Structure 1
Amino acid sequence: MERTLSSGLVFDNNTESKASAPLRVVSTLLLWQRRITSRRQLARLDARLLADAGISESQRYQELSKPFWR
């Protein structure tokens, strides 16, 4: 499940500047929104669809229990 929720954006700590701060804020907000959307979709899956995706009920519960920032 984590691989579907990870962000593709990578930041290099050596090149941080004041100009990149707004970009980091926006990318963080977008990541949180993707997590919220993904978890809502996961919550709506029935047992058959979970089995098709290879996700157990306990894995689903574990993912749905996380706050949006994790």
Structure 2
Amino acid sequence: MTYITVPGHARSKRLSLTHLMTRRFDLWRQRRALTRLDAAALRDIGLTRSEAETEARRPIWDAPESWSC
């Protein structure tokens, strides 16, 4: 019988509390940084001031699963 191992395949998707809190803090920090960007920087990333402020007000638990903070 042959066994095939795939790195990370059987690894648990659960994150440690410390890792989860670090990711959420990073997300909070990045969203707050949006509010400090000037109009030219916001244009460069394709956002309006209103969109940046709306994103900054989102709670830290409101992040798509596909994001890796």
Q: TM over 0.5: same fold?
A: yes
Q: Is residue 29 from structure 1 mapped to residue 5 from structure 2 by the alignment?
A: no
Q: Is residue 45 from structure 1 mapped to residue 37 from structure 2 by the alignment?
A: yes
2:49 and 2:25 mapped to 1: Cα distance?
23
1:32 and 1:54 mapped to 2: Cα distance?
24
Question: What runs of 5+ residues in structure 1 fail to find an aligned partner?
Answer: 1-11
1:68 aligned counterpart, secondary structure:
coil
Q: Percent identity?
A: 28
| TM score, norm. by length of structure 2 | 0.59
List structure 1 segments (4+ residues) > 3 angstroms apart after TM superposition. none
Q: Provide the alpha-carbon RMSD of the alignment.
A: 2.3
2:33 and 2:58 mapped to 1: Cα distance?
14
Question: What runs of 5+ residues in structure 2 fail to find an aligned partner?
Answer: 1-8, 63-69
Comparing 40-49 and 59-68, the one that deviates more: 59-68
Count the aligned residue pairs. Answer: 54
